[in-house]
Chain A
Amino acid sequence: MDVSQYLEIFIDETNEHLQNLSDCIMVLEKEPDNKDTINEIFRAAHSLKGMAGTMGFKRMQHLTHDMENVFQEVRSDKISVNSKMIDLLFECLDALDKYLENVKETSNEGTEDNEAIIKELNDFIAQASGETPAPVSEPAKEEKQPDSSKEEEDREKKFLKVELDEVEKTAIKSAEEAGSKIYGFTVYIHQDCLLKAARAFLVFKAVEEFGEIIIYRPSSRDIEDEKFELDFTFFLASAEDLEKIIPGTLAVSEIDVVLAEEVKSSDFNKKEETAVSAEAAPAPKEQEPAKKAAPAAANAGKKQAANKPVTSRTVRVDIEKLDALMNQVSELIIAKNSLVSISATEGGNFESQLFHEQIEYLERITTSLHESVMKVRMVPIESVVNKFPRMIRDLSRKLNKSMELYMSGEDTELDRTVVDQIGDPLQHLLRNSADHGLESSEIRTQRGKPAKGSIYLNAFQEGNNVIIEVSDDGNGIDTDAVREKAIERGVITSDQADGMSQKEIINLLFMPSFSMAKKITDISGRGVGLDVVRSNIEALGGDVEVSSKLGEGSKFTVRLPLTLAIIQALMVEIRDEKYAIALGSIQNIEDIPVNEIRFVEAKEVIHLRGLVIPIIRLDKILEMEPLEKEPESLTVVVVKKGDNYAGLVVDNLIGQQEIVIKSLGKFIKANKIISGATILGDGEMALILDVNTLF
């Protein structure tokens, strides 16, 4: 079978299952007796095995099979969960991860057999059952039997409860009179089945060889339209015995259980009067075939017990298609902007009220179209951060420090391209916290802190940005030590060091090749760390800040743009050039008389509602000729980054506009202050200022 077309789905789903497994095993480590979790793990391992088998990845299949066996034993209480087993399971996951990596790169699982792990898995089972590892599958199979029969109880014979109207009763009666027997059927479809209606159709086709279906529940129409959950019920009028009919229905794939028995028209009349329960009148003989059906379906039936929510309706779309869509929306917005500017400038020809209304309508549509496309591209950061608890657990072992990761805001959404690239920087920051930030348990207890260190990962949205904070309650950054190290390394001179603020010293940590680790471990401290974090985040149009209090911990704040393509911006004019400033970072706009400008440390500042705000002359920064004569008052755009403010002096305000961010390309080595360009309605271009770089 050619399965290459399913490869991507396989990779995606395997990822999901592995993540799921990892989460569950983490839970299991804390609550070794949690039956739900054990079942969940079993199911995930089982699905993985099935998928790997379908794709022909034998080694993956083998490994997951043995994992499944171990859980089988756990489920049947033959082995209890211990830390050695958890470690082993994580090893399995890592091995599976490697297979998956290989599959991603080469469409092949590779040749690593992971015999050592498989052997250990089997040893576990051997210990439990007191047998040699070979007949491992035996106890597992035994276990399945009682399990399935238990599930069977959940499955009622719904046909016994069906309420019939007069027409249907007459139909049954007349069929009976014609000499047919009436059989009630309730069919349960496997919960992962995609084409339920098709399965139902095949079941009908199978039974209609023997007779005529007289009643459908839900109606045949609804069954065709798939308007039913996992089961449907029907009544068949047939002259044949039930034993002959049943096998045909079971031959249909993805059918879990078929429950059937003979019913009499009189049963229904009686039921109306007494309203007996389903268990009331099971004719023992007819129940036999149903029992036969059960074992066959037992394997699949295991999944049935999961009280998992029905997955939402989704479509997997190639990110490139979304990029193309986004580009087209961008083009549309540029075209819309030029219509707007035509309607505004050549008012003489476009006086008509209707025209302006239509333009406004168009604006609304393009804006909401853009929002929709943007939302489609947004994914929760969950997919990135949910691997972190596992990582912290491993680090905790490796570093021999006890620590716990608390996460919040995992559902915060970001543009897909940003999410894809935020994993590494965040991982670095967490490792940094675990390795450098947190003290060892002994020191912590000495200092009166809880022995277990805490690391927090907190994500939330703030305006047009998403903030991700990584903090710890460790030792914080020792600025004196950083200062000494910096002088020792020759990064700064001691004279320079004296003049530096705490903040500036902390920022030294972001210098390339600056590591504070006293010894180099494989976790961090190779000097490739925070500088890479910063450059990665800046490449995404974001930035990172640190605040720290010695003895109490430190906090890294990562700020990321919500989207990369289109933003709301304030257009300003400086001399005859136009610039765009992202609206998200603008606090307010002020007219400041020149004589209100004060000087602090030879820098221009203004006093505004209790805040001292430094003034930045954009014309100077953007290498323009100074004005011959300074105007009496300045237009100041106050921008905010975190807790810092700055006032940007511009010549003119043009207005607010939705702009499409275009890159300047790879040739121009622009200063960081220019984050891109945009094309205005009249075809003119404006540069986009990244005010975050001005702080």
Chain B
Amino acid sequence: MENGIEISGKSTKQYIVVKIGSEQYGLDISYIDNIVRMQTITRVPKVQTYFKGIINLRGEVVPVMSIRLKMLLADDQFTDASRIIILKIEEQGTIGIIVDEVKEVVELAMDDIDRPAQKSKLDKNSFIFGVGKHGDELISLFDINAVVDEPDNA
């Protein structure tokens, strides 16, 4: 697969496609450290509401965030398909986000990505930087920094 990138010459990026509710979202693979199954999340009192708590990831403490709650969607329903995606962000460290299901890895060229016409349409609770077309499916692409960014009023 890595070869594919080089040969194509065009700037393509790989995205992991996840499902949240009925929609498909893409996460830039370069940020992803790991994908783990659902596990016991230890609640941390008195924190931002969308933080579910912390998990023990092989001896490391990793905070886990509900992307659903952060996007003001209904709270998570944990199933066998639920996964925690561990993101590694420079400087700030690791963070886990909960998704309903992990589907596949896709490769998108820049041409395949439609950026929203006007940015102003995005309210502050939107974390999407563009929509990718893969076959006849549409994938909303997360702007990872916006996802993990803490609004100042939090």
B150 and A623 form a contact (CB under 8 A): no
Residue of A nearest to B42 (CB): A685
For the residues of A in contact with B, the DSSP-based class is loop
A667 and B92 form a contact (CB under 8 A): yes
A331 and B59 form a contact (CB under 8 A): yes
A674 and B154 form a contact (CB under 8 A): no
B45 and A677 form a contact (CB under 8 A): no
B40 and A684 form a contact (CB under 8 A): yes
B24 within 8 A of A: no
Contacts of A577 in B (CB 8 A): 42-43
B48 and A664 form a contact (CB under 8 A): no
A668 within 8 A of B: yes
B84 within 8 A of A: no
Contacts of B43 in A (CB 8 A): 577
Contacts of A674 in B (CB 8 A): 44-46
A667 and B42 form a contact (CB under 8 A): no
A668 and B45 form a contact (CB under 8 A): no
A195 within 8 A of B: no
Q: How far is the CA of A621 from the CA of B45 in the complex (A)?
A: 9
A334 within 8 A of B: yes
A663 within 8 A of B: yes
B92 and A668 form a contact (CB under 8 A): no
Which residues B93-152 have CB closer than 8 A to chain A? Answer: 93-95, 148, 150
A664-683 vs B: 1/0 string, CB under 8 Å? 11111111011011010001
A665 and B95 form a contact (CB under 8 A): yes
Name the one of B56, B63, B94 contacting A683, with C-beta atoms under 8 angstroms.
Answer: B56
B61 and A669 form a contact (CB under 8 A): no
Q: How far is the CA of A668 from the CA of B93 in the complex (A)?
A: 11
A685 and B54 form a contact (CB under 8 A): yes
Q: How far is the CB of A178 from chain B (nearest CB, A)?
A: 76
A664 and B45 form a contact (CB under 8 A): no
Contacts of B46 in A (CB 8 A): 622-623, 670-671, 673-674
A662 within 8 A of B: yes
Q: How far is the CA of A36 from the CA of B94 in the complex (A)?
A: 58
Q: How far is the CA of A683 from the CA of B91 in the complex (A)?
A: 26
Given the interface pairs A685-B56, A685-B61, A687-B42, the reply to whether A669 lies near B47 with Cβ below 8 Å is: yes
Given the interface pairs A679-B56, A683-B56, A684-B40, the reply to whether A667 lies near B45 with Cβ below 8 Å is: no
Contacts of B45 in A (CB 8 A): 621-624, 671, 674, 687
A614-641 vs B: 1/0 string, CB under 8 Å? 0000000111100000000000000000
Contacts of B62 in A (CB 8 A): 665
- Total interface residues on B, using CB and 8 Å? 26
B44 and A670 form a contact (CB under 8 A): yes
B150 and A669 form a contact (CB under 8 A): yes
Q: How far is the CB of A312 from chain B (nearest CB, A)?
A: 37
Residue of A nearest to B60 (CB): A662
Q: How far is the CA of A217 from the CA of B122 in the complex (A)?
A: 88
Name the one of A621, A663, A664, A669 contacting B154, with C-beta atoms under 8 angstroms.
Answer: A669
Q: How far is the CA of A676 from the CA of B54 in the complex (A)?
A: 11
B154 and A667 form a contact (CB under 8 A): no
Q: How far is the CB of B63 from chain A (nearest CB, A)?
A: 5
Name the one of A664, A683, A684 contacting B44, with C-beta atoms under 8 angstroms.
Answer: A664
B150 and A665 form a contact (CB under 8 A): no
Q: How far is the CA of A570 from the CA of B128 in the complex (A)?
A: 45
Q: How far is the CA of A442 from the CA of B93 in the complex (A)?
A: 57
B22-49 vs A: 1/0 string, CB under 8 Å? 0000000000000000001011111110
B47 and A670 form a contact (CB under 8 A): yes
Q: How far is the CB of A379 from chain B (nearest CB, A)?
A: 28
Q: How far is the CA of A580 from the CA of B55 in the complex (A)?
A: 17
Most buried by B among A663, A666, A684: A666
Q: How far is the CB of A86 from chain B (nearest CB, A)?
A: 47
Contacts of B55 in A (CB 8 A): 685
- Total interface residues on A, using CB and 8 Å? 27
B65 within 8 A of A: yes
Q: How far is the CB of A694 from chain B (nearest CB, A)?
A: 13
Q: How far is the CB of B91 from chain A (nearest CB, A)?
A: 8
B148 and A667 form a contact (CB under 8 A): yes
B95 and A667 form a contact (CB under 8 A): yes
Which residues A651-670 have CB closer than 8 A to chain B? Answer: 662-670
Contacts of B42 in A (CB 8 A): 577, 677, 684-687
A668 and B59 form a contact (CB under 8 A): no
B15 within 8 A of A: no
Q: How far is the CA of A331 from the CA of B56 in the complex (A)?
A: 13
Q: How far is the CA of A224 from the CA of B44 in the complex (A)?
A: 63
Name the one of B40, B44, B56, B91 contacting A668, with C-beta atoms under 8 angstroms.
Answer: B44
Q: How far is the CB of B70 from chain A (nearest CB, A)?
A: 11
Contacts of A624 in B (CB 8 A): 45
Q: How far is the CA of A676 from the CA of B148 in the complex (A)?
A: 20
Q: How far is the CA of A665 from the CA of B56 in the complex (A)?
A: 13
A667 and B93 form a contact (CB under 8 A): yes
A542-580 vs B: 1/0 string, CB under 8 Å? 000000000000000000000000000000000001000
Contacts of A677 in B (CB 8 A): 42, 44, 54, 61
B52-91 vs A: 1/0 string, CB under 8 Å? 0011100111110100000000000000000000000001
Contacts of B59 in A (CB 8 A): 331, 334, 679
Contacts of A684 in B (CB 8 A): 40, 42, 56
A665 and B44 form a contact (CB under 8 A): no
Residue of B nearest to A673 (CB): B46
A665 and B154 form a contact (CB under 8 A): no
Given the interface pairs A577-B43, A622-B45, A674-B45, the reply to whether A667 lies near B54 with Cβ below 8 Å is: no
Given the interface pairs A622-B45, A673-B46, A685-B54, the reply to whether A667 lies near B61 with Cβ below 8 Å is: no
Q: How far is the CB of B48 from chain A (nearest CB, A)?
A: 6
A666 and B154 form a contact (CB under 8 A): no
Contacts of B44 in A (CB 8 A): 664, 668, 670, 674, 677, 687
Contacts of B63 in A (CB 8 A): 664-665, 667-668
Q: How far is the CB of A168 from chain B (nearest CB, A)?
A: 66
B48 and A669 form a contact (CB under 8 A): yes
Q: How far is the CA of A395 from the CA of B123 in the complex (A)?
A: 55
Q: How far is the CA of A677 from the CA of B154 in the complex (A)?
A: 22
Residue of B nearest to A676 (CB): B61
A667 and B51 form a contact (CB under 8 A): yes
Contacts of B54 in A (CB 8 A): 664, 668, 677, 685
Contacts of B48 in A (CB 8 A): 668-669
Residue of A nearest to B96 (CB): A667
A662 and B150 form a contact (CB under 8 A): no
Q: How far is the CA of A664 from the CA of B95 in the complex (A)?
A: 10
Q: How far is the CB of B96 from chain A (nearest CB, A)?
A: 10
Residue of B nearest to A685 (CB): B42
A325-353 vs B: 1/0 string, CB under 8 Å? 00000010010000000000000000000
4 new A-B contacts, CB < 8 A, other than A665-B92, A674-B44, are A662-B60, A671-B45, A677-B54, A684-B40
> Could you name 28 residue pairs across A and B whose Cβ atoms are closer than 8 Å?
A334-B59, A577-B43, A622-B45, A622-B46, A623-B46, A662-B60, A664-B61, A664-B63, A665-B63, A665-B92, A665-B93, A665-B94, A668-B44, A668-B51, A668-B63, A670-B44, A670-B46, A670-B47, A671-B46, A677-B42, A677-B44, A679-B56, A684-B42, A684-B56, A685-B54, A685-B56, A686-B42, A687-B42
Mark A residues whose CB is within 8 Å of B. Answer: 331, 334, 577, 621-624, 662-671, 673-674, 676-677, 679, 683-687
Across chains A and B, which 7 residue pairs bring their CB atoms closest together, nearest first?
Answer: A671-B46, A685-B42, A662-B61, A622-B45, A668-B63, A666-B92, A623-B45
